[in-house]
A = this chain, B = another copy of it.
Amino acid sequence: MALFSTLTKPKTMETLQTLNSHRSIRKYKNLKVEQNLLNTILEAGCRASTTGNMQVYSIVVTTNEGIKEKLAPAHFNQPGVVQAPVILTFCADFNRFNKWCKLSKAEPGYDNFLSFMTAAIDALLVAQNVCVAAEDKGLGICYYGTTTYNAQKIIDTLNLPKGVVPITTVTLGYADEQPDLTDRLPLEAVVHQDTYKDYSPDDIDRIYKEKESSPLYQQFVKENNKETLAQVFTDVRYKKADNEHFSNELMKVLKNQGFL
Contacts and interface: CB of A to CB of B under 8 A. Distances in A.
Interface in A141-183: 142-143, 145, 148-149, 157-161, 164, 167-168, 182-183
A139 interface: no
Contact of A190 (B46, B113, B190): B46
Greatest chain B CB density within 10 A among A42, A44, A104 is at A104
A54 B189 CA distance: 12
Interface in A203-256: 204-205, 207-208, 227-231, 233-235, 237-241, 243-244, 246-247, 250-251
A233 B52 contact: yes
B128 A48 contact: yes
Interface in A108-156: 108-110, 112-115, 117-118, 120-121, 124-125, 127-129, 131-133, 136-137, 142-143, 145, 148-149
B234 A106 contact: yes
Interface residues of A, number: 121
B246 A114 contact: yes
Contacts of A13: 14-15
A96 to B, nearest CB: 6
A16 interface: yes
A14 B135 CA distance: 12
A20 interface: yes
A47 B61 contact: no
A24 interface: yes
A6 interface: no
27 contacts: A13-B15, A16-B44, A16-B133, A19-B129, A46-B187, A49-B131, A49-B143, A52-B233, A58-B190, A59-B191, A62-B195, A96-B189, A96-B190, A96-B207, A101-B233, A105-B227, A105-B228, A105-B231, A106-B231, A107-B234, A109-B238, A112-B244, A114-B243, A114-B247, A115-B247, A117-B120, A117-B148
